[in-house]
Structure 1
Amino acid sequence: MSARTPLFTWTPVGTADGSTPARYFVIVAKDPQFTKIADYAFTTIPAYAPRTATAPTTYSDETTHYYWVVLPAKNADGSGSVGFPTDGAPQPFDKRSLPPNLLAPDSGAIITGQPTFRWTAAEGARRYRLQVSQDPSFGTLLDDVVTDSTAFTSSTTYPADSALYWRVRADDQNLIGLAWSVVGVFQKQLSTPVPRSSNPTTGDLIPTLAWSNVPGAVSYDFHAEQPDGTTKDFIGLRSSAATPTKWTGTGIWHWRVRANFPKAFFGVVAGPWSTPVEFTRTVHSPTSPATEVLAAHRLVFSWSPKVGVKNYRVQASTRADFATTVETVTTDNTSYAPVMTQTSYVNGGTLYWRVAAVDADGNVGDYTTAQTFTLPLFLRLSASGYPVKGKTVSITITATNPSLLPVRSAMIVMRGAGVGTLVHYTGSTGKTTFASVHATRYGTVTVTGSKSGYQTTSIYLTVH
């Protein structure tokens, strides 16, 4: 058996008259009947190295025998040789070259990136053919490539998590395929992107989320699980970072990413998902809330502007817990001046206000802490009795607060319709009596009440 194309030699014989060396026909076949001729030559010397006129001839590796025979010619022109090869004592031989030895990947190896195949050089190799398949018999090929090198890095995306088989052989000078190597086996594991540790995990603003580049990936898929349990998928991202164009609402999101790899002919195959990462979306309250009192019943609420919000929600209440509200308004501005017509504003006392930012979908963020402001209490006046022209009458004035409780020491001034200017102060019951009210003409008597911390209010009594 020979690993190389053989050199044939034999004992020389002479011509019939013995004057010159004999000529020889050399015939090589793949069967003992010489019906499958592999090579045919005519030589004047008792040796033959297979070749054509311009290049060597090589024999393929076979698992069965080759047969060769030398047919001497009786005459110098080649005539007079034996007519049939089987009459010339054919001899068998075997041609089986030494295949390359596989070096990498190791048998049973798990590969996460693009595999690089390596093997030893084979004698007489002009190039090498590498084949990769999921079938150990190589009936269907994933890769079938030729290379002049003893190493090859494939750009093919192989199926993940399954056994893959590979082999290599040399092609000789005439590109005849020689013996295949033993079959190697490995497993491909598609790489997983790794979210970067620098990614924000909470915030008011729309974040930029990034992950590691995956060699060989042509795109990435991004999957988000929203706080309400719904999901959103963004397919075929070309970058290893993404900034959503819109992100509203508050709560905890979970996101993950996977790489897509090209298939052999068209399309992509998706790798495994990364570990989910949390992002807590917040809409914190505006900063620097302030109350500016312009007059007894003129106020302006203000705050600092907030990036990434659509508008602001303002609430006013008589309670610090805002269980009930005086008003709730939405404004695009960073200040608000209430119109003060609601009863709670009119009644006065200590009130509260707060403001929250609102995003593009109407989600209300955190409110500021309650801000307090105080308005003068409403002084409610009522009269028992009325003035009569030309008569002296008694009129009692009662002063109460918005809760209808008596107001003590309120100054009550009565004037008009000729009664002069009369001044009294309420007692502990909130009452004071004007015993001698004498109107000298028709018209209106004005009763005005005032006290520190209260609004100055008036009622009007018509003279009868």
Structure 2
Amino acid sequence: MSTPTPYQESSSPALPAPIPTRPVAGRPVDTEPPVFSWTPIPGATRYRVQVASTEAFESILYDDVRERGAALSLGTVLPDGATMIYWRVRTETAEERSVWSEPAHFAVPASEQEAEDAALRVDAAPVPLQPKGMEDPPVDQSAVPFSWEAIPEASGYQLQVAPTENIADPHVDFAVDRTTSVTLYDVLPVEAATYYWRIRPLFRVADPGPWSSPVPFAVAPPATEEDDLAPEAADPQASARAAGPALEARTSRTLSLTVSLIAILSFLATIALIILAG
């Protein structure tokens, strides 16, 4: 286990933190050793994982760089009698690192608490908040935010996203811990202009709660530099207003030259008449 250094203490608010997706929601791990995974962050060169026996992370059991979807044997670091384990993850690059994710938790050996937890199930679906329908503008594919209302006693949530309303073959299907929002970075292909998403609550031991109704939303390709550079005068009226002073200046100069020329010609004509009369 590596020792944290001052380099690891500072963080960049510009670099997003991952969202833990497995193991989460206080549910028992389904593999041994458990596999840890989280949402990907564009530009990340590595991810650091911390494991602790308390949610406050006073005593860290594990602290090291890990790959997404890699198994981690915890048998040698877990304290005797531990039944609930907490973990978190952050993004790191060569120059900066994100803040830590919100802690996720999972159960280890079976405990006497499981029988009590099995009764803690609310038969209600979360209410999707964002995206909330096709009436909203298309969402930038490079960062799609999802949020929903919390369900009492829920220890986590399962999110699914698919290009069809029946969500038979979801493109996104993962669980999160006790959070009510998640942002997917560069995950949804832009080939499908419309997606549907739904959410359901998870409980530590009881069966998952019901799914919400699928909510459609539109995605758009990320904005390019060409899109950001708007024409200087896209408004014809603005163009006319901008050209007005210059046009008026040119007209004034032309009029002045014309008047001067007429005055000179009149003077010459007067001289000629005087000469002829003499």
TM-score by length of 1: 0.24
Q: Greater share of strand residues, 1 or 2?
A: 1
Q: Greater share of helix residues, 1 or 2?
A: 2
Larger relative contact order, structure 1 or 2 (CA cutoff 8 Å, min sep 6): 2
- Bigger Rg over Cα: 1
TM-score by length of 2: 0.37
